[in-house]
Structure 1
């Protein structure tokens, strides 16, 4: 059963106001900036709100990133710094072992040189020289072999310890780049992936950014509450993940928004993939298995742009965002690819975007 349509209200919600404020200030529409302005708007940290407000009507990306790092990154940075400290300590210990081995080998080489000189000295009896040389070299060789075995064991132990630290760092990175609700990549991981798109110009023609947004999600939260909304978000993420190839990058970039970065496909193939996602979600029933409550149909709108149609990550995101806006404005539950003609229809006021 579909949820009855709520009466239209001419007051924009938080997400719309945040997006509008960013556009008025000329802030790049990338996820980490949205996170910063969203948290500042809702007042989760009064200090954060004051610092963002102090930037005035214009702000550089460097200033925004500095505030973001200060308020969002310190708790994970401490753990990562600790792991890095361990890694440096292990490397120092390994270097010390290698220097000891080098010193031992240098001493052995000096002994060989001295013995060779004695053998060539005609002032000594040959038999005594050879006997002495054999004893010295035998003892030195035995010591060197023993030290070598110990060195191998120590290096192996240090290598195991360093591997544990590496795994610890990998886990910190995974946690730092994972959205806790959906277990998909988060906006931090998305920012990195988006920035890397233009590293290889040869792939621009077969790389696309797809932005997806759940339709009327605010109504779902208002009607059934945020716990239900969170479960629906997690389910939508799972459905999208199951509808695309494993190598497609998928992230929850904020609120009810998802992003996909598709590599190795033409425009028509990307559109077809987006449609598979949309139809799969449209045909999935959303019910409470315990109470039997039907939450109605859940749909998404998708906007996409090929990397070859933009000059930078920021422009690519902006054009995919415009296509998403047009999909919303055109009736929702549809996929639209960016076209230059869309710009004239694009409104700076995204009041319709979250209604």
Structure 2
């Protein structure tokens, strides 16, 4: 997609393209700006993309902040900053508690050493001295144990508070990695998951990437409007999720494209899975219950590839994307597995995805 009238430089990855676009619009490359542009560029939120494109070639920071507040529903930077501040405060309290405990133990150890010296002194045989030493040690020991119990309680309380902060950050991460329209994982989470496959090369032999693209989706949007298109995407997502394996990672990779990452699969089962998703989607009614308007049938083309012979996540995505293109080029509404010979067929024409 193109959010501005300024052409994007060729040969740059998405991060560089986003940075270039922000600077072209006169915006500083702040993390919160990057988040907005990232969601717009990968196409996971069409409404956000349209809002950003409507700003034209120039925008103010206030314009971007309004979009972020509208679509993200909260100030994510503020959440992280508050969480970090609370964590820093709790850790500082723990360090002070540890120092106090260390100081208390050092004092107690010093008292033990001094008492030991006095008791063992050759010129000391007084029963009174021994009695006094026992009394001092008893009081010091009781005080030290009481202080230790209090410190333990404080440690427990601080640990509970830090656990609460951790849960808050986990929830923020879940929200940040979830597509707001379909409730599936978004492109950010998908990229992380796909790259993570290659952290464990021994598991790649059974890993697979499936790409699913809704056929003629531009025609659906142009005919019925974007709100209807969004509802159709949400339904497509639910069909895919319902038919995918429970352990499969399902994401909206961008626009009308969905992805499934399987970390343990058998070749024959993958084709069966793809066909089950395709057939169930084709047979799903897409109808407005109030007006009776029929939006269907809605079909999808599917391409998939094994990670076994891929060097990295980029190559795996490229192979599945080529297989998806070949499914489109074969008449749509079909499933294709990547084969080496497909590269000759692949001269990508983006119009085929419309």
Give the TM-score normalised by the residue count of structure 2: 0.81
Instruction: Note the C-alpha offset of 1:224.
Output: 1.4
Structure-1 residue corresponding to 2:93: 93
1:44–1:36 CA distance, 2 compared to 1 (3 A): farther
User: Is the 2:115–2:133 Cα contact (8 Å) retained in structure 1?
Assistant: yes
Report the Cα distance in structure 1 between the residues aligned to 2:313 and 2:192, rounded to whole angstroms. 10
Bigger relative CO (Cα 8 Å, ≥ 6 apart): 1
- Give the conservation status (yes or no) of the 8 Å contact 1:328–1:353: yes
Q: Which residue of 1 aligns with 2:302?
A: 302
Question: 2 CA distance for matches of 1:291 and 1:247?
Answer: 38
Instruction: Give runs of aligned pairs for residues 147-158 of structure 1, distance below 5 A.
Output: 147-158=147-158
Cα–Cα, structure 1 residues 41 and 133, in superposed 2: closer, same or farther, change >3 Å? closer
| 1:254 and 2:254 matched | yes
Residues 1-355 of structure 1 correspond to what in structure 2 (within 5 A)? 25-27=10-12, 35-36=40-41, 43-44=53-54, 46=56, 76-354=76-354
Post-superposition CA distance 1:285-313 (Å, at most 9, x none): 11122232221211111111111132111
C-alpha distance 42-106 of structure 1, shift in aligned 2 (>3 A): closer
CA–CA separation in structure 1 for the residues paired with 2:174 and 2:249 = 14
Q: Any stretches of 5+ residues in structure 1 without a counterpart?
A: 1-13, 50-71
For the aligned residue pairs, the C-alpha RMSD in angstroms reads 2.8
Superposition deviation, residue 99 in structure 1 = 1.4
Q: CA deviation at 1:42?
A: 6.8
Secondary structure in 2 matching 1:253? strand
Contact 2:304–2:338 (Cα < 8 Å) also in 1 = yes
Partner SS for 2:198: helix
Cα distance in 2 for partners of 1:293, 1:48 equals 40
SS of the aligned residue for 2:251 comes to strand
Q: Secondary structure at the match of 1:308?
A: coil
Deviation, 1:91, is 1.1
**Cα 1:149–1:44 shift into 2, 3 Å:** farther
Offset of 1:47 from its aligned partner?
6.0
Distance 1:96 1:156 in 2: 14
Q: How far 1:212 sits from its partner (Å)?
A: 0.6
CA distance in 2, matches of 1:315, 1:215: 24
Deviation, structure 1 residue 243: 0.2
In structure 2, what is the Cα distance between the partners aligned to 1:250 and 1:124? 80
Do 2:327 and 2:335's aligned partners in 1 also have CA atoms closer than 8 Å?
yes
Shift of 1:333: 0.7
- Secondary structure of the residue aligned to 2:122 is coil
Please identify, of 78-87 and 298-307, the stretch whose mean Cα deviation from structure 2 is larger: 78-87
CA distance in 1 between partners of 2:262 and 2:285 (Å): 27
Q: Is the 8 A contact 2:300 2:334 kept in 1?
A: yes
Q: Which stretch of the first structure deviates more once superposed, 74-83 or 84-93? A: 74-83
Partner residue in 1 for 2:28: none
Q: Which runs of no fewer than 5 residues in structure 2 stay unpaired? A: 19-37, 44-48, 60-71
Q: Distance in 1 between matches of 2:326 and 2:319?
A: 11
In 2, the alpha carbon distance for the partners of 1:103 and 1:338 equals 67
Per the alignment, residue 34 of structure 2 pairs with none
The CA deviation at 1:75 is 5.0
Residue matched to 2:23: none
Inter-partner Cα distance in structure 2 for 1:351 and 1:317:
20
**1:146 offset after TM fit, Å?**
1.3
